[in-house]
Amino acid sequence: MKKALVLAVGSVVALSGLLGACAYNEALGRNQFVFVDDSALIQQSRAAWAETLRTQKVSNNAAQNARVRRVGDRIVQAARLTDRPWDYAVFEDASPNAFVLPSGHIGVTTGLLSLAKNDDQLATVIGHEVGHVVARHAAERSSTNAATGLVLGAVQSQAGDYGQAVQAFGGLGAQLGVLLPFSRSHELEADRLGVDYLTAAGYKPSEAVALWRLMAQQRQSSTPQFASTHPSDQTRIAALEQYIASRGWN
């Protein structure tokens, strides 16, 4: 079983390394392992957006929606993504959160709008979400997940009586060893790109650090960083401070 588990995780790493040169992302300055169809992702994203609008409570507060659109449009222009339509929605949810879809849809919760003390801090979050789009993180993540599933399936078929154990422990090993750290890397990349865009849009980069400090104060999760899809607040804040200082911003 141990041999099969090692083979499963090792195969994913090897596959990513061999195929990583299939796409180069200039904004990130690195190659990406991407083989999923962007058009399929966009189609799925549009369906997901329609479903979210149907099932979640959308705020009709005109001032809140105007604020998100105003800040969002400035960030989109700074990121040079005006070649596609963008749509925004404010969802009535006390949890401070936001999300982006590759189709050009951004959702922001009322909880986040309450937490963000100014538009600079709101621009931090929207810039981060737009950064995920520029970085093609959704496509990269989908490709990695698909490859992981294929490799683990192949190993399980060769595991004989240990097949069930490989499925249980192999999936966990791949998640902790490959997928979760990769997701944390995506988050830090989106942070960096987001600061670039909010600064180009005329917002204060120092407010990015202030926003994540506010997030850290209200966060209740105790999940350790090694088992989390997001960097720890301390890691994120330190990385932002270092990047902003390296660019000579304040």
What sections of the chain are H helices per DSSP?
2-19, 38-55, 62-78, 110-115, 119-134, 137-157, 163-165, 171-174, 180-200, 206-218, 233-246
Catalytic residue among 26, 129, 140, 189: 129
**CA-to-CA distance for 169 and 7, rounded, in angstroms?**
12
Amino acid letter, 47: A
Instruction: List CB contacts of 205: < 8 A, sequence separation 6 or more.
Output: 195, 198, 199, 244, 247, 249, 250
The per-residue b/e assignment along 170-191, b for 16 or more CB within 10 angstroms, e otherwise, is: bbebbbebbbbbbbbebbbbbb
Measure the CA–CA gap between 44 and 249, rounded to whole angstroms.
Answer: 38
Among this protein's residues, is 92 annotated catalytic?
no
Asked whether 58 and 90 are in contact (CB, 8 A), the reply is yes
CB atoms within 10 A of CB 7: 19
Q: Cα-flanking dihedrals φ and ψ of residue 219, to 5°?
A: -70, 140
Q: Which residues, other chains included, contact 238 with Cβ-Cβ below 8 Å and sequence gap of 6+? A: none
Cβ neighbours, 10 Å, residue 226? 11
Catalytically active residues, by annotation: 129
